[in-house]
């Protein structure tokens, strides 16, 4: 008769399914990303010929002490190049009324000067800051690191302004507002 199997066995050798499986593919992952509800921001930096900026939904708070923010910028972005060159950038959290601004700063065919046209822009710590956002922060680059087809940009917060209003949201490839998602009074 064979000996009973021990109740506690050595764990199986560690398997890493992420590396063993081919993965679901970019198209299915983009479907998942579309389900992420996110605030919409504009990231700006000083370019060689004037201000640069782009719409970004991949922004998050990273740390309170020290205060750090995180943004994911695609490879090849002109704004990313300026962020890297200058070592500083601004993040503007947009208000729900600012969907046109967000559309302009996302349009690949709209040159930088046209993206900023009509905005009230001033320099804070040498970085272009657009007036009228829900909140903005000027950050000094703490780290830039490539992951896949984007770069993760970590900024140490050097200046902050918090205004009023409601955030502009991005969900299922559409601009949305809190008003639409959660009716006031819960009704």
Ligand X SMILES: Cc1cc2nc3c(=O)[nH]c(=O)nc-3n(C[C@H](O)[C@H](O)[C@H](O)COP(=O)(O)O)c2cc1C
For 39-84, give the secondary structure using H, E and C.
ECEEEEEEECCEEEEEEECCEEEEECCCCEEEEEEECCCHHHHHHH
Q: Among the candidate windows 9-17, 70-78, 92-100, 152-160, which touches ligand X by CB under 6 A? A: 70-78
Ranges within 11-30 binding ligand X (CB under 6 A) = none
98 sits near ligand X (criterion: CB under 6 A)? no
Q: Are 142 and 156 in contact (CB under 8 A)?
A: yes
79 sits near ligand X (criterion: CB under 6 A)? yes
Cβ-in-10-Å burial (0-12, 13-18, 19+) of 74 comes to: middle
Q: How far apart are CA 37 and CA 46, in angstroms?
A: 29
Per-residue binding string, ligand X, 166-185, x by CB under 6 A, is: ----x---------------
Q: How far apart are CA 49 and CA 36, in angstroms?
A: 35
Q: Among the candidate windows 4-12, 54-62, 116-124, 140-148, which touches ligand X by CB under 6 A? A: 54-62
Q: Which of 39, 67, 77, 84 binds ligand X (CB under 6 A)?
A: 77
Q: How far apart are CA 140 and CA 153, in angstroms?
A: 10
Task: Please identify, using beta-carbon distances, which residue of 58 and 135 lies nearer to ligand X.
Answer: 58
Tokens of 58: 């991949």
Q: Which of 11, 25, 66, 108 binds ligand X (CB under 6 A)?
A: 108
As measured in angstroms, the least distance from the Cβ of 127 to ligand X is: 15
Residues that bind ligand X (CB under 6 A): 40, 54-58, 72-74, 77-79, 102, 106, 108, 150, 170
């Amino acid at each position: 008769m064979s000996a009973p199997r021990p109740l506690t066995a050595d764990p199986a050798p560690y398997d890493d399914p992420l590396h063993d499986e081919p993965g679901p593919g970019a198209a299915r992952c983009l479907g998942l990303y579309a389900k992420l509800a996110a605030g919409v921001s504009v990231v700006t930096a000083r370019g060689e010929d004037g201000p640069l900026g782009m719409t970004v939904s991949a922004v998050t708070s990273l740390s309170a002490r020290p205060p750090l923010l995180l943004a994911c910028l695609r490879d090849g972005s002109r704004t990313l190049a300026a962020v890297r060159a200058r070592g500083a950038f601004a993040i503007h959290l947009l208000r729900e009324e600012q969907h046109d601004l967000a559309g302009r700063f996302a349009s690949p065919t709209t040159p930088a000067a046209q993206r900023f046209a009509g905005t009230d822009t001033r320099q804070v710590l040498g970085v272009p800051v657009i007036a009228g956002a829900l909140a903005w922060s000027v950050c000094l680059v703490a780290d830039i690191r490539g992951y896949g087809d984007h770069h993760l940009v970590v900024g140490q917060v050097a200046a902050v302004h918090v205004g009023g209003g409601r955030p502009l949201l991005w969900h299922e490839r559409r601009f949305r507002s809190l008003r639409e998602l959660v009716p006031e009074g819960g009704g």
